[in-house]
Amino acid sequence: MTVAKAATRTHGKPGGDSYTAGKLTVLKGLEPVRRRPGMFIGTTDVRGLHHLIREIVDNSIDEAMAGFCDVIVVTLHADGSMSVLDNGRGIPVDVHPVEKISGLELVLTTLHGGGKFGDAEGAYKVSGGLHGVGASVVNALSELMVAEVYRNGETYRQEYVRGVPKAPVAKTGASDRRGTWIRWWPDPQIFDTVDHDWTTIIDRLRELAFLTKNVSISMVDEGRNLTYTFYFEGGIQAMVRHLNASRNVVNAKPMYVEREINGNMVEISLQYQNTTFTEHVLGFANNINTEEGGAHVTGFRTALTSTLNKYARKAGILKETDPNLTGDDVRDGLTAVISVKLPDPQFEGQTKTKLGNSEVAGQVSGVLSDALMQYLEENPGDAKRIIEQSLTAARARQAAARARELVQRKSLLESATLPGKLADCSERDPQFCEVFIVEGDSAGGSAKQGRERKNQAILPLRGKILNVEKARADKLLANEEIKNLITALGTGFGDNFTLEKLRYHRIILMVDADVDGSHIRTLLLTFFWRHLQPLVHGGYLYLAQPPLYALKKGTKVLSYAYSDDERDSQVKALPGGKSKVDIQRYKGLGEMNPEDLWETTMDPERRVLLQVEVSDAIRADDIFDKLMGSNVEPRKRFIQTHASSVRNLDV
């Protein structure tokens, strides 16, 4: 048959008949995890390393959510290993009736083996683990793991080498404890680094303590003899207070509600602040941060808008002739946390960044509508301030719309819609195009002369752009430099943002390597994070790394150094004649001629680019608030805390 011939053709290459079933490879046990770790933990860099902690801690949190655990201790040991201890029921150690191995060995050596896949008595009703593969994946990616279970007055222990048990589970003595202790040494054959970051771990544990109220979670650093303990009776209400700690709040007491509907638990807390003009709405499903939102966030936003409009008209703040407040208006300055816990969560994709359970939208909407209306009626002063802030946002939105219309009308009347200072590239396929956002006309001139005109565009900015952390959309769109930037990128802004219209798939911030340059870069990063966030999450934003030094002999450049350490090592490596070497410190890109700028910073074959990534949105929000917000005291404390770690400070 023709179909059969098409399926077995070798396209003229010899050996086609040698491809038989014997050539197929079957990976058994945990071998698939070690062969393709990225499929299970996303990456093998420091983020993947910390993902291991999350998987083991999540198992303890599952015990806590089931009501069997209220103490969790995470320890960073002096030898670089990690351990997690809880006082839950302890992983079962009896022999599984089908697999014929201990429950402990089953959980730690078998993919998709655990208490998260059925309705049997004792199985988890709510779980946030990695589809039940978490503990076994950690075992597979560790050069050594030790597990101890404390049950029935006994201690049970098993050790593993790269996922393979050294011996069967054994009793090692009596114990009056209850729970599970797991310690692991991440495998340096798998990970780029096995050095854990204290701050990253602390931030995640604090978040889990907020989301799992009345559970004590401790972090111990053996090497530094430090212990932090988190315990929050208020749950996410305490989390909202924490997020707004450095901001001026509009309603002193956050609104809070917790309710169970058809087996789903809905917990919501919200508070308004007027320090920044952006919303901070965080959605969680089974303790997983759903960064892309989903049904629970949709239901929240719908109820928030309708309830505030309903109250505003009922209280006479909005007249009959006044238009309704929009969703953007009522979310101006809003800080909110929505946490839902579901027996059967439906996440979109393995990364679990969006919740898909459609019934949750109506449940969250109903819970918030009732609770928020009651809150507003019981707190009329706070309610009036919230509505007035939303009305102020509405006026700013209308002014911004008028500014946008003027910009669009002006563009239609002019022959060219792109900013005059933009030196565009000739390539029209965005995936091959990049734009350098350059500080000043002098550096812009060098960049324009040194660039590859086919696919590199240059947009010089004049001075420091507006600090958008302190400005609403109307002021933002009145700023000439920001308007030029938005126009050049092509995506639009606010409600009109369209990622598909992005004209360059690499947006490169290229500023001077001094204090002013760092400030300008921070202002630009603030703008992108607050108003063009999809470009950050999409991996389109980069930082150029111009050299700090040029090592010269006469007029000839011997090499470039990008740090003090690199400069010193290069000088030491020079064969004789070190006294005749001149070291030039670049204070600005404008000092570099076009050839040098191309060779060091713009040439794709030799340059160094840093891609801007955000692994913790909550922490990013907090840092931008502290550094760029209107409150001086938090920024002062931040500078005092981190001043000793600053190197190469230009004064």
- Model pLDDT for residues 290-311, shown as the tens digit of each residue: 888 899 999 999 999 999 999 9
Q: Which of 529, 498, 516 is nearest to 612 (CA)?
A: 529
- What single-letter amino acid sits at 34? R
Per the annotation, the verdict on 564 as an active-site residue is no
Cα separation of 515 and 522, whole Å?
11
Cα separation of 613 and 543, whole Å?
11
What is the structure's pLDDT at 72? 98
The confidence band for 411, taking pLDDT boundaries of 50, 70 and 90, is very low
- φ/ψ of 506, rounded to 5, equals -130, 115
What is the structure's pLDDT at 268? 98
Higher pLDDT, 121 or 109: 109
Per the annotation, the verdict on 328 as an active-site residue is no
Range in 136-145, 262-271, 394-403 with the lowest mean pLDDT: 394-403
DSSP secondary structure letter of residue 494: G
Cα separation of 42 and 350, whole Å?
9
- What residues form DSSP beta bridges with 184? 82, 145
What angle, 0 to 180 degrees and rounded to 10, lies between the N-to-C axes of helices 515-531 and 617-628? 130
Cα separation of 414 and 312, whole Å?
43
Cα separation of 92 and 508, whole Å?
53
Q: Are 317 and 323 in contact (CB under 8 A)?
A: no
Q: Are 371 and 255 in contact (CB under 8 A)?
A: yes
Burial of 565 (0-12, 13-18, 19+ CB in 10 A): exposed
> Which token pair is 9?
């053709």
Choosing from 55, 187, 221, 439, the catalytic residue is: 439
Are β-strands 549-553 and 556-561 bridged in parallel, bridged antiparallel, or unpaired? antiparallel
Higher pLDDT, 383 or 5: 383
Cα separation of 242 and 335, whole Å?
10
> Which DSSP helix (H) or strand (E) runs through 275?
none
E-assigned strand segments in 494-641: 506-510, 541-544, 549-553, 556-561, 582-585, 609-611
Per the annotation, the verdict on 621 as an active-site residue is no
What is the structure's pLDDT at 11? 42
The confidence band for 119, taking pLDDT boundaries of 50, 70 and 90, is low
Q: 435 Cβ partners below 8 Å, 6+ apart?
A: 456, 457, 458, 459, 488, 489, 503, 504, 506, 507, 508
Q: 253 Cβ partners below 8 Å, 6+ apart?
A: 271, 379, 382
Q: For 571-594, how does the pLDDT look when each residue is reduced to its tens digit (9 = 90+)?
A: 888 876 756 788 888 877 877 889
Higher pLDDT, 288 or 301: 301
Choosing from 514, 566, 591, 616, the catalytic residue is: 514
Neighbours of 648 (CB within 10 A): 9
| CA distances (Å), origin 471, targets 73, 345, 391, 527 | 43, 38, 16, 11
What is the structure's pLDDT at 9? 36
Residues of the chain with CATH 3.30.565.10: 31-230
Q: Is the pLDDT of residue 10 over 60?
A: no
> Which DSSP helix (H) or strand (E) runs through 201?
helix 198-211
What is the structure's pLDDT at 20? 56
- SS3 sequence, 258-324? EEEECCEEEEEEEEEECCCCCCEEEEEECCEECCCCEHHHHHHHHHHHHHHHHHHHHCCCCCCCCCC
Q: Which of 58, 220, 74 is nearest to 135 (CA)?
A: 58
What is the structure's pLDDT at 116? 53
Cα separation of 87 and 412, whole Å?
68
Q: Are 72 and 57 in contact (CB under 8 A)?
A: yes
Q: For 446-456, how does the pLDDT look when each residue is reduced to its tens digit (9 = 90+)?
A: 899 999 999 99
The per-residue pLDDT of the chain, averaged, comes to 85
> Which DSSP helix (H) or strand (E) runs through 490?
none
How many residues are recorded in the chain? 651
What is the structure's pLDDT at 5? 33
Most confident option among 118-127, 394-403, 504-513: 504-513
What is the structure's pLDDT at 651? 40
The confidence band for 124, taking pLDDT boundaries of 50, 70 and 90, is low
Cα separation of 105 and 343, whole Å?
26
Q: Domain 416-546+612-645 belongs to what topology?
A: Rossmann fold (3.40.50)
Most confident option among 30-39, 469-478, 637-646: 30-39
What is the structure's pLDDT at 147? 97
- φ/ψ of 496, rounded to 5, equals -90, 5
Per the annotation, the verdict on 516 as an active-site residue is yes
What is the structure's pLDDT at 130? 41
Q: 633 Cβ partners below 8 Å, 6+ apart?
A: 246
The confidence band for 4, taking pLDDT boundaries of 50, 70 and 90, is very low
- What single-letter amino acid sits at 152? N
Are β-strands 506-510 and 434-439 bridged in parallel, bridged antiparallel, or unpaired? parallel
Choosing from 62, 329, 424, 512, the catalytic residue is: 512
Q: Are 385 and 250 in contact (CB under 8 A)?
A: yes
Question: If you compute the radius of gyration of the chain from its CA atoms, what whole number of angstroms results?
Answer: 29
The confidence band for 78, taking pLDDT boundaries of 50, 70 and 90, is very high
Q: Are 141 and 34 in contact (CB under 8 A)?
A: yes
Residues of the chain with CATH 3.40.50.670: 416-546+612-645
The confidence band for 550, taking pLDDT boundaries of 50, 70 and 90, is confident
Higher pLDDT, 351 or 586: 586
The confidence band for 115, taking pLDDT boundaries of 50, 70 and 90, is low
Range in 205-209, 308-312, 564-568 with the lowest mean pLDDT: 564-568
The confidence band for 403, taking pLDDT boundaries of 50, 70 and 90, is low
The confidence band for 426, taking pLDDT boundaries of 50, 70 and 90, is very high
Where would I find the H helices in 490-610?
Answer: 515-531, 533-537, 564-573, 594-597
What is the structure's pLDDT at 277? 80
- φ/ψ of 443, rounded to 5, equals -65, -35
Q: For 580-638, how does the pLDDT look when each residue is reduced to its tens digit (9 = 90+)?
A: 788 888 877 877 889 889 988 999 998 889 999 887 677 777 777 767 776 677 767 76
Q: Are 341 and 265 in contact (CB under 8 A)?
A: yes
CATH of domain 31-230: 3.30.565.10
Q: Are 373 and 311 in contact (CB under 8 A)?
A: yes
Choosing from 474, 516, 566, 591, the catalytic residue is: 516
What is the structure's pLDDT at 646? 56
Q: For 136-166, how does the pLDDT look when each residue is reduced to its tens digit (9 = 90+)?
A: 999 999 999 999 999 999 999 999 999 999 9
Cα separation of 528 and 525, whole Å?
5
Q: Is the pLDDT of residue 315 over 80?
A: yes
Q: 412 Cβ partners below 8 Å, 6+ apart?
A: none
Q: What percent of the chain has pLDDT over 90?
A: 52
What is the structure's pLDDT at 474? 75
> Which DSSP helix (H) or strand (E) runs through 55?
helix 46-65
CATH of domain 236-397: 3.30.230.10
